[in-house]
Chains A and B, each alone.
Chain A
Amino acid sequence: MVTQPVSPGGDLETVVARARQLAIESGELLPADTPSYRAQVAEDVREFVLSIVRDGTYAAAIAELGRQDPDLANQ
């Protein structure tokens, strides 16, 4: 996957640059050499997660949450 350069314009560009600098200073912007997350879960837990994602149960759940709260809805 290739990350595209982000070039917002005007005030947005200024605000994004400021936020990025603050994120670096606060440590919220992770260093580029941050090791990738490696899951360490039991096989049955992994299979449960796979099953609810693959069979649409998780998608149905978030759709229901979105109907209850529009700010949690996929737009």
Chain B
Amino acid sequence: MAVVVDDALLLGVLAGAAPVEVQGTVYTTGLWNFRLGQALHPGASTEALARRLNQLAPERQRRVLPLVDELPPSIGLLSMRLLVPVIRQLDPAARLNLLAAEALATAYIVGASVLVATDAPLLRRACEAAEIEYSVTA
């Protein structure tokens, strides 16, 4: 049993603060992992999140950011070497961007369900067409 989680849920898992119990082997994708780092790191982070981070004492900031710097080995992440051939075979009519295509390809290869914090309609429909379980926590 495995599940592919988006960046918001990955953050929750890493911090022990996931809104639902994430059972089974956890995978994420390179772009979800990248987006998490982009969102949280000063300089790369967005205005709203930068404000919240800046409200933290520097010592607390230094304890938050390492959460996303290195993915633990017990969380799966497939390389593009494996993913690209599968992504190239996905139905172009689904019009998935790379973020969604990577998630779908990971689910195919791992044989996993997809669990996200925010609904992504095109990804949801692609999962439904592929008979891959797709769930939204929020």
Q: Do A and B come from one complex?
A: yes
> Residues on A close to B: CB < 8 A?
1-8, 11-12, 15-16, 18-20, 22-23, 26, 28-30, 32, 34-42, 44-54, 57-62, 64-65, 70-75
Residues in B with CB closer than 8 Å to A70 are: 97
Residue pair B111, A6 in contact (C-beta under 8 Å): yes
What's the A-B contact tally at a CB cutoff of 8 Å?
A: 202
How many chain B residues touch A (CB < 8 A): the figure is 77
* Chain B min CB distance to A30 (Å): 5
Determine the distance from Cα of A48 to Cα of B61 in the docked complex, in whole angstroms.
10
Q: Complex formed: what's the CA distance from A62 to B121 in Å? A: 16
Nearest A residue (CB) for B10: A37
Complex Cα–Cα for A36 and B77 (A): 14
* In contact, A3 and B64 (Cβ under 8 angstroms): no
